[in-house]
A and B are shown apart, each in its own frame.
Chain A
Amino acid sequence: MYDLKNNLVNSAIVLLSLIFIGMAFLLTLVAESAAVALLLPILLILLAVVGIILTFVPFFKDHIRLIPVVDAVVGIIVAVIIHFLC
Chain B
Amino acid sequence: MNNWSFGRKAVFCVISSVLASSLAGIVFILLNSRIRSLVVAVVTASFICALIFFIVSQLLRDKDTKVRITSQIASVVVGFLVIVSTVIINLAPFIVFPCNHNEAAYDDLTELSKVEDSRISEIRIDDLTGWRISSRSAKPDQKRPVIICFYGNGMNASATSLMIFKDKNGIYGDFNENTDFVCVDYPGYGISGGAPDSDSVKEMALKVYDEVASWETTSEIILFGYSIGTGIATYTASERDAAGLILWAPYANAYDIFNNYLNIFYGPCRLLVRFRMDSDKYIKNVDCPVLILASDADEMVPYQSSRDLFAAADGTAADFVSLSGISHNAFWQDTKALDNTYEFIGEVA
The interface of chain A, by Cβ under 8 A from chain B, is: 3-4, 7-8, 10-27, 29-30, 36, 39-40, 43-48, 50-52, 54-55, 61-62, 64-65, 67-68, 71-72, 74-76, 78-80, 82-83
Contact = CB atoms under 8 A, between A and B. Distances in A.
Interface stretch (B26-34, B149-157, B192-200, B236-244): B26-34
A22 B27 contact: no
A73 to B, nearest CB: 8
Contact of A14 (B79, B84, B262): B79
A75 B28 CA distance: 10
Query: Chain B binding site: helix, strand, loop or mixed by DSSP?
Result: helix
A47 B16 contact: yes
Contacts of A46: 17
A47 B20 contact: yes
Q: Top 6 nearest A-B pairs by Cβ distance?
A: A23-B25, A51-B13, A71-B20, A75-B24, A15-B50, A47-B17
Interface stretch (B1-9, B170-178, B271-279): B1-9
Interface stretch (B52-60, B158-166, B316-324): B52-60
Contacts, number: 175
B278 to A, nearest CB: 24
Q: Which among B1, B4, B15 has the highest number of chain A CB atoms within 10 Å?
A: B15
Query: Chain A binding site: helix, strand, loop or mixed by DSSP?
Result: helix
Contacts of B24: 39-40, 43, 75-76, 78-79
A7 B19 contact: no
Interface stretch (B38-46, B113-121, B128-136, B298-306): B38-46
A10 B28 contact: no
Contact of B86 (A22, A27, A51, A80): A22
Contact of A51 (B17, B27, B54, B72): B17
Q: Which among B16, B29, B31 has the highest number of chain A CB atoms within 10 Å?
A: B16
